[in-house]
């Protein structure tokens, strides 16, 4: 929970045994300080979002293959296997004993190509962001620091709002701990997707990582490469559907963490309640 610790530290909210009421009173008496901290956090989050979004290409297709070119796999921008192709030479190049391993090798190759392209795009965006500002003096870099909030209305509503947000942040800590445990538990779970014939089985870790591909021998003995490819593709799709069921959307429910998400989704509403004019 390192990120949560950093968040609470920057907000001036002690965790567990270090917590006391003095910080809440101080923040409520000085809402502007809290807004400045929130603005800085939002600025950092926007920078990270811009940086990582530079490498996000949902429509991209990344193709990988095993060493003998017997298996070719396409991975989409979401990292999921969207298509499998089997070359007609597969019996000679990998054989029945090696086909499952060849599929895993091709998946790994396509995934690594996707990650390499993402990393290259992120690095390019990072380099572009560090370029000197046009018209600036030599050696002066472009900076976009957080905008300091204008004058804060000194009224009871603003103070109550700050107290409400601080209380929400404190109480959400327990839910963050529960969420961490749930993420770990679901990440360790394995899901299985099967083809319509149930002769192909794909096993994934809870986060969508392919850990095993099993093709029954009787299918390999009687099926051509096109049927094998279709069965594999459908088994992958079935596994991803089961992995989606492990997502945390339902776990968040209507608790305080969900309320905090709603608050973050509409920061302008909070600013208006604090007597600020949203940008």
Exposed / middle / buried, residue 157 (Cβ in 10 Å: 0-12, 13-18, 19+): exposed
pLDDT digits (tens, 9 = 90+) for 133-146: 554 444 443 444 44
pLDDT of residue 205: 86
pLDDT of residue 47: 73
Tally the C-alpha atoms within 13 A of residue 53's C-alpha that lie toward its C-beta.
Answer: 6
pLDDT of residue 152: 46
pLDDT of residue 93: 97
- Long-range pairs, 29-36, Cβ under 8 A, ≥24: 29/159, 31/152, 31/158, 31/159, 31/161, 31/162, 31/274, 32/149, 32/152, 34/162, 34/165, 34/166, 35/149, 35/152, 35/271, 35/274, 35/276, 36/146, 36/148, 36/149
pLDDT digits (tens, 9 = 90+) for 140-170: 434 444 444 444 445 566 666 666 666 666 6
- Residues, the chain: 279
Distance (Å, whole) CA 245 – CA 256: 22
Res. 248: pLDDT tops 80? no
Q: Which superfamily does CATH assign the domain made up of 56-126+158-274 to?
A: Nucleoid-associated protein YbaB-like domain (3.30.1310.10)
pTM: 0.62
Pick from 222, 246, 223, 240: which is nearest to 107 by CA? 240
The CA-based angle 274-23-255, given to 5 degrees, is 65
pLDDT digits (tens, 9 = 90+) for 25-77: 555 555 556 566 666 766 776 777 777 777 778 788 999 999 999 999 999 98
């Amino acid at each position: 929970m390192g990120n949560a610790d950093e968040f609470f530290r920057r907000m001036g909210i002690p965790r567990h045994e270090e917590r006391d009421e003095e910080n809440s009173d101080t923040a409520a008496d000085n809402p502007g300080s809290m807004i400045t901290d929130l603005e800085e956090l939002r600025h950092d989050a926007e920078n990270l979002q811009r940086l990582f979004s530079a490498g996000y290409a949902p429509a991209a297709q990344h193709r990988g293959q095993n060493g003998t070119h017997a298996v070719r796999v396409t991975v989409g921008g979401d990292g999921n296997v969207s298509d499998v192709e089997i070359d007609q030479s597969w019996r000679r190049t990998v054989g029945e004993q090696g086909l499952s391993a060849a599929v895993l090798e091709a998946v790994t190759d396509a995934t690594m190509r996707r990650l390499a392209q993402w990393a290259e795009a992120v690095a390019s965006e990072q380099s572009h962001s560090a370029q000197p500002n046009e018209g600036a003096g030599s050696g002066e870099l472009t900076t976009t620091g957080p905008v300091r909030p204008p004058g804060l209305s000194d009224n009871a509503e603003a103070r109550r709002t700050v107290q409400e947000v601080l209380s929400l942040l404190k109480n959400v800590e327990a839910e963050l701990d529960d969420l961490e445990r749930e993420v770990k538990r679901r990440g360790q779970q394995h899901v299985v997707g099967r083809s319509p014939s149930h002769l192909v089985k794909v096993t994934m870790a809870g986060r969508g990582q392919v850990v095993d591909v099993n093709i029954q021998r009787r299918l390999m003995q009687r099926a051509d490469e096109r049927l094998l490819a279709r069965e594999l593709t459908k088994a992958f799709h079935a596994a991803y559907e089961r992995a989606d069921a492990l997502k945390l959307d339902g776990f968040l429910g209507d608790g305080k963490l969900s309320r905090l998400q709603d608050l973050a989704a509409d920061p302008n509403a909070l600013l208006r309640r604090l007597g600020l004019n949203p940008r």
